[in-house]
Amino acid sequence: MQRFITYILILCFISPCLSIRSNVGTTNDIYNVMDFGAVGDGKTDDAQAFASAWSKACQAGGMSTLVIPSGKSFLVTKVNFNGPCNAKILIKFQGQIIAPPKSGWKSEAYLISIEHVNGLTIDGNDQGGVDGDGSTWWDCKSCNRPDVLFFNACNDLSVNKLKISNSPRAHVAVTQCNHATFSGISIDSPATSPNTDGFDISFSTYVLIQDSNIKSGDDCVAINGGSSFINVTGVYCGPGHGISVGSLGLKRSDDRVSNVHVRNCTLTGTQNGARIKTAAGGSGYAKNITYEQIILQNVRNPIFIDQAYNNRLDDTSIMVSSVTYRGFTGTSNCVFSINLNCSTSGCFDILLDQNNIVLPGKTASAFCRNAHGTATNTVPNVGCLSK
């Protein structure tokens, strides 16, 4: 009995030490930008406070939470959240960030950049957002207009329930990121805003955009060179230019895109629906691309392969192949609801299946040039597709 009591006493002394050791590296320190001098009145430049809070959060061990609190509007002229970081970071993005007018920007490339940060989670909780004040930029045709939010070399990234509006150019730019998920994103810019892509993706793999609503003056999603295994699902697009692969081959670049899957999306009043666009002089390929279960509402070019994007059909070696369009339903406002305008080298292994696209009050048609593949159970008839 004496030995048993002694054993219990030893465990009582040791167990607190064991508990302390088990928590090593799992602390979660909170860094609120207000504690670093942010004002949040929408007038004072809070960029330095954001930078200071990020520096502390990034350098900490274990886990860190950067808080952008609700009920505040933070004017920032330029923010860089750079890694690599010691901590795994959560950004609680609950307040509003607003950009200055064009004359007050301190960067020609972006408002907020996040680079070389792995395992980052951004949670907007349907409250947090960024307004890029793009209307002060849009009339400047010669300006090198910046993006609002730029992710570079961020692996295992998760961005949830964030609102982004009125970007001078692209709202979200993603490059050199692997395994990134964007969920519940709301993007809102007018149809007349130039080049305001919702998402611009390049040189990235395993990117998922899901359950999001995108209104823009350009592509809702643009999938550019160097990208593969890109999934877009549950996206509402419109106004905008559709969900596009490309443009590829601009400035004679070698661009390669593969394994793209777009499904269960709704396009309303867009200039294009499912588009692949390539430019003359370029090289590379667009292959293994699937668009399926797409709802169309008054879309001008529902299915569009455009290998004359810069008004030339010759002098291109970008190969378009293994493209599937399945389960398109709804309305177009253009006679050529299916337009497969391929270069002289041709597009191959094009499959259209179970599509029903109508032109209210008129008869829709299909146009093909150098397009090879099969069409089954598709309206309008695609008899121009060569086998």
Q: What does the alpha-carbon distance between residue 328 and residue 363 come to, in Å, rounded to a whole number?
A: 17
182 contacts 208 by C-beta, under 8 angstroms = yes
Q: Catalytic residue at 241? A: yes
Place of tokens 């398109």: 328
The full DSSP string for 26-71 is --EEEEEGGGGT---EEEEE-HHHHHHHHHHHHHSSSEEEEEE-TT
CA 147 centroid distance within chain: 12
Residue 155 CB partners (closer than 8 Å, separation 6+): 118, 119, 177, 178, 179, 180
User: How does 178-190 read in b/e, with b if 16+ C-beta sit within 10 Å?
Assistant: bbbbbebbbbbbe
Q: What is the CA radius of gyration of the chain?
A: 25
Contacts of 235 (CB under 8 A, 6+ apart): 209, 210, 211, 212, 213, 214, 220, 221, 243, 265, 266
Beta-carbon contacts of residue 349 (< 8 Å; ≥ 6 apart): 321, 322, 323, 372, 373
Is 216:243 a contact under the CB 8 Å cutoff? Answer: no
Annotated catalytic residue within 171, 179, 241, 372: 241
Task: List the catalytic residues.
Answer: 241
